[in-house]
Structure 1
Amino acid sequence: MRLSSRSASIIVALWFAATALLGEARGELLRFRPLGQPTAAKEEAARKINELMLFQDRLYLGHGDWFKDTGPTDVIYYDFAQQKFVNEYTVDEEAIVRYRRYGNRLYLPGADSTESWEFGNLYVHEASGWKKHRTIPRGLHVFDFAEFTDRWYVATGSYIGPSEGRPAIGAIYSSEDQGATWRYEFTTPSAFGAVYRLTALMPYKGRLFAFGYADGPMARESTPEQNQSDDGKQYNRVARSFVHDGGGWFRADIVSASLVQTIEPHVFGDHLLLCARIGRYGDQFKNQWQLFAHDGKNTRRVPLECDQIVDTLVKNDRLMLLLARQGKYSLVESTDLAHWTHRDLAPDIKRPLSIEYDGTSYYLGLADGTVLAATASVD
């Protein structure tokens, strides 16, 4: 059957539209090989590799589960020269969920201390090794760290009053003496029955952005049987965003979507990228992940075909996303947020959680504690 020129044009247009959504180019199949399973001897919840970070020719791992209290937690890195994993240090935390690199230092915020709630911890890798700063007052959860205007900042889950039965707040602290002392910069509202936390910090265009969430009861709905607890209340998680512009802290509602639960920020080129989890909070509700790009004034959504943005990595001029869709995983890359290279991961790679890239090789951290590597051909 011969197609008319109009029908052929429609098919071509549809093909280009589909290609634009799925990634304009298919990259080579990455052949991953195991570097090892350094957390295999730990309890199951402690094995998962939450974070990968290259620092001083080492691949640092973040692992553990602070919800299930799997600490204390080892700082483990892969030594490329010796081709083995090394236990370098142990932190008094239930898990390691994030590293931050500024200059020649590596920072490890203490997400959930195994010690008392009187102080929270920040760990800093300096020339002499790791140094622990147990100086953050009421820093129950220290989720993130940033350097901004010659000060150190941390984003926390803190509390007011006695540690038992206390209102839980999100708090940002700053230090002018590199962690010796801290002062309150900003706190969220507080309410009994609700939990506020600030979980991410990101400097961008001379301002410091902070992101977090509030867990608490919702206003009663017409169908209270949905997500209803024994006391008849419905609960949800709602994202909170703030910005420090040099003069004070203000709300920063820069994601135009409803039911946003959490936001994870990254700076890519001239944009502040925002990975947003959207939907009602609870296992019974299906959520979606969306990517937004903010240029300092306006925010636009970046189209993605995925069920979940598992991890995000910015390397120089390249953005890499680890995506999940219909039980399968893929890596997509872009240099301009318009043209994408799409690489499917082999089906035998189960539950990848984190990615890293050193210019020639990709690294994956899996939920079972396995670390994989694959060398890509030069573009």
Structure 2
Amino acid sequence: MTTKNIMCKLLFIPCLCFLLSVTSGSDVRAQSYKYLSLFSVGIPAQNKVWEAWKVHELQLFEGKLYIGYGDAVINTGPTDVIYYDLQSKEYKTEFTVDEEAISRYKVIDGKLIIPGIDATESWKLGNIYVRTASGWAKKRSVTHGLHVNDITSFKGEWFVSTGSFFEYGENESCAVGGILRSNDEGDTFRLVFTTPYFETSVFRVGSLITFQDKIYASYYAFRGLKKEEIPESYWPGLGTEYEGQHLIMSDDVLGNLDVLAYDGKQWSFKDLITTSNLCRLHPFVFGDKLIFATMSGQYIDYLGLMKKMPPQAETALFIFDGHQTERISFEYDRIEDVVIFNNRLFLLIIRAQQYFIAETADLQNWQYFLIPNSGVKPRSIEYDGSSFYVGMDDGTIFQATVGEEISDLTCLTEHEPIRIHGAAEIPRQGKWYWVAMTGWRKWGKLARFTAFIESQNCINLTVHNVSAIRVFIPPQEINTTKPVFLKINGQQVFQGTLNGKKELICKSPKPGQWEVKSGNGSSKTFKYEREVVGHTDEELTKEGHDPLIGLWKAETIRQAARTDISLILKHNLIQGLPAGEIAVEDLYDLNEGRKIWTFSTTGEKLLEMLAFNIKLPEKNRMQIAGFDFWYQVEPDAQKNKLVSCSLLPEREYSVSTTDQFVKWALFNIGVEVEKYKETDLTVVGAMIAWLQQYNKIGSLPTRITKVAVQP
């Protein structure tokens, strides 16, 4: 594998939110537990693209619960700074960061700070964002900070850790972990340390922590391997591929030197952890101890850790008092988050497929709070002194109150949240806990609901853009031997005894009119049904210089926005459409880029954009609607040139495109798009509207023609 290839394929994968796993001798099952009752306070990112919803981080600051969300692998930014006001019980947007996601908040010297995990701008600088008395301040000052992973304060200075990218010659680059220092609260940074550079690996400095009179930093590395390069015995632990490779973490990348320390004068590597094949560690301070949660093993899939722990991973928890390290005896499979409040440590853990919040004041005696097993992964927690807040993988934020002490864990499988929110654009995403949306009033638009179990056996639903919905009765919260009541949008639509039935099936043929019947389905057996919206006579492939799927997509956008022409990017076409029926899910799966944007420009400017674009690699070229052009293809793409085009240079054209085109315009057409306008139209909505009008996709005219070089 060449240096250039490893940079292209691996470099831009950001640091994962830390995932900690520990196993050892004590038996968590011998302890007592208290049940947590969950009450949804909403899905804060539901108006963003679905991939951005998952919650990475919760951070309480000045009575506000700040939400970390987004996806820095798929790239869903820019990202709004959203918080939940604990007093008003409302979500508010405070700022927008130029990052693909927010994965971490830190409180440094009394200031709330966001390390910029993946800037939407040039890779030459990384960002931090500081909340000041006058609002948020963006500091674009981390030189070569492609991924700013963490920040700490030490002796009046700020230090950030990075995944850094350096270009040092023609087609020569390296990916190292870096540490930079600022003596002016982030206005400027100076590089003070880098990890080594290995030709086939990407290095990162993941975490920084100040303890006693030193900074302690953790670093790690990963490399790209094809499946056949990995011993077959490790295949069960692999996650999904990235660009045809698995990102495999390096074990003992620098031998026994597992921690980096800084005493104010120099950086030095330390051997503090007595375990072999160490891949990753995460430090945090509790009381007068520095705690290291470690993960070791061979051929551990870096991206796969987001979903599961591979069977070969070995984990441990160590405490360091500044002089010696000792392993803690504490049993669990994985730590998802750490919170410290008033000298109490709270750990969000998973053990035997059950999630707990474990609390201790001395690292010896523990209290366990059980989170009902809903099948959705909790990712982050916060605590305000009376209630827990739990951020979920599906984007939900729950407020959790402590219930009664229990001894039988099996009963938790039947407990459900008292209040839930749900939102979805397609049936595949329609099931939320004990409710599933199955029909939309307007396809291509977000449908949402709130469901609340009231006293006296009443379920109260509020729905928007929903024409059919199913309620799976929670048996621990509803007494099914007595009459059950169901309200939808304030209207009582059902009253009766279920007689052993487990669900209410609700359909609304007209707004305000509901038909309800009971059924035997359950949340575990529910399967969504595909909503067919059209048909195509032939396969619409994404292959070739003017793929059929791109031709159709560009035309649907042009018609929906009622513009003269449309421009889209080929690399935003994820897949094509097979011949036959077309379902709403198919339309979502083939698209990257959700919103439709418009702008106006002259034919002359458009010709300049085309001339720039045809010189790029073919996967980065445009597809069009509303005009035609011909271009000459040379062996060297930089010599490609326009031959003819139906655009008139002097004419003003209205143009429709997607959010992804606007975001990456500088790279793909050579200029930033100016005076663009975001519409309320979506790409999928445009496709659905086209199919509702025409029903079937027939033959499509070629818009772009290659002209061979004349001998």
Q: TM-score w.r.t. structure 1 length?
A: 0.87
Task: Name the one with the larger helix percent.
Answer: 2
1:362 aligns with 2:380: no
Shift of 1:159: 2.3
After TM superposition, the structure 1 = structure 2 runs for residues 134-213 of structure 1, keeping only pairs within 5 Å, are 134-162=140-168, 165-213=172-220
Shift of 1:32: 1.6
Structure 1 residues 276 and 233: CA distance shift in structure 2, 3 A: closer
Structure 1 residues 233 and 307: CA distance shift in structure 2, 3 A: closer
Task: Name the one with the larger strand percent.
Answer: 1
Structure 1 residues 162 and 300: CA distance shift in structure 2, 3 A: same
- Determine the C-alpha separation between the residues in 1 that align with 2:161 and 2:336: 22
> Secondary structure, in 3 states, of the residue corresponding to 2:218?
strand
Larger radius of gyration: 2
Structure 1 residues 71 and 234: CA distance shift in structure 2, 3 A: closer
The aligned amino acid for 2:137 is: K
Counterpart for residue 544 of structure 2? none
> Secondary structure, in 3 states, of the residue corresponding to 1:32?
strand
- Determine the C-alpha separation between the residues in 1 that align with 2:314 and 2:231: 23
Asked if the contact 2:25/2:329 (under 8 Å) is kept, the reply is no
Counterpart for residue 303 of structure 1? 329
Shift of 1:184: 1.3
Shift of 1:103: 3.6
Structure 1 residues 56 and 234: CA distance shift in structure 2, 3 A: closer
Asked if the contact 2:222/2:247 (under 8 Å) is kept, the reply is no
Asked if the contact 1:20/1:339 (under 8 Å) is kept, the reply is no
Given the alignment, which residue of 68, 80, 90 partners 2:86? 80
- Determine the C-alpha separation between the residues in 1 that align with 2:112 and 2:347: 23
- Determine the C-alpha separation between the residues in 1 that align with 2:144 and 2:187: 15
After TM superposition, the structure 1 = structure 2 runs for residues 188-267 of structure 1, keeping only pairs within 5 Å, are 188-216=195-223, 235-238=248-251, 240-267=258-285
After TM superposition, the structure 1 = structure 2 runs for residues 15-164 of structure 1, keeping only pairs within 5 Å, are 20-22=26-28, 25-162=31-168
RMSD between aligned residues: 2.9
> Secondary structure, in 3 states, of the residue corresponding to 1:353?
strand
Asked if the contact 2:25/2:330 (under 8 Å) is kept, the reply is no
- Determine the C-alpha separation between the residues in 1 that align with 2:382 and 2:101: 19
Q: TM-score w.r.t. structure 2 length?
A: 0.47
Counterpart for residue 618 of structure 2? none
The aligned amino acid for 2:182 is: S
Structure with more relative contact order (C-alpha pairs < 8 Å, separation 6 or more) = 1
> Secondary structure, in 3 states, of the residue corresponding to 2:185?
coil
Asked if the contact 1:288/1:307 (under 8 Å) is kept, the reply is no
- Determine the C-alpha separation between the residues in 2 that align with 1:174 and 1:273: 24
Structure 1 residues 159 and 330: CA distance shift in structure 2, 3 A: same
> Secondary structure, in 3 states, of the residue corresponding to 2:88?
coil
Asked if the contact 1:73/1:96 (under 8 Å) is kept, the reply is yes
Asked if the contact 1:224/1:234 (under 8 Å) is kept, the reply is no
Structure 1 residues 115 and 368: CA distance shift in structure 2, 3 A: same
Moved over 3 A (4+): 162-165, 222-229, 231-236
- Determine the C-alpha separation between the residues in 2 that align with 1:299 and 1:119: 37
- Determine the C-alpha separation between the residues in 2 that align with 1:233 and 1:352: 26
Asked if the contact 1:123/1:131 (under 8 Å) is kept, the reply is yes
- Determine the C-alpha separation between the residues in 2 that align with 1:157 and 1:260: 19
Question: Unpaired segments of 5 or more residues in structure 1?
Answer: 1-17
Counterpart for residue 291 of structure 2? 273
- Determine the C-alpha separation between the residues in 1 that align with 2:208 and 2:152: 6
Asked if the contact 2:72/2:117 (under 8 Å) is kept, the reply is yes
Structure 1 residues 23 and 249: CA distance shift in structure 2, 3 A: farther
Structure 1 residues 303 and 23: CA distance shift in structure 2, 3 A: farther
Question: Unpaired segments of 5 or more residues in structure 2?
Answer: 1-23, 236-240, 253-257, 404-711
Moved more, 199-208 or 312-321: 312-321
Asked if the contact 1:122/1:134 (under 8 Å) is kept, the reply is yes
Shift of 1:328: 1.5
Counterpart for residue 319 of structure 1? 345
Counterpart for residue 489 of structure 2? none
The aligned amino acid for 1:337 is: L
Asked if the contact 1:21/1:303 (under 8 Å) is kept, the reply is no
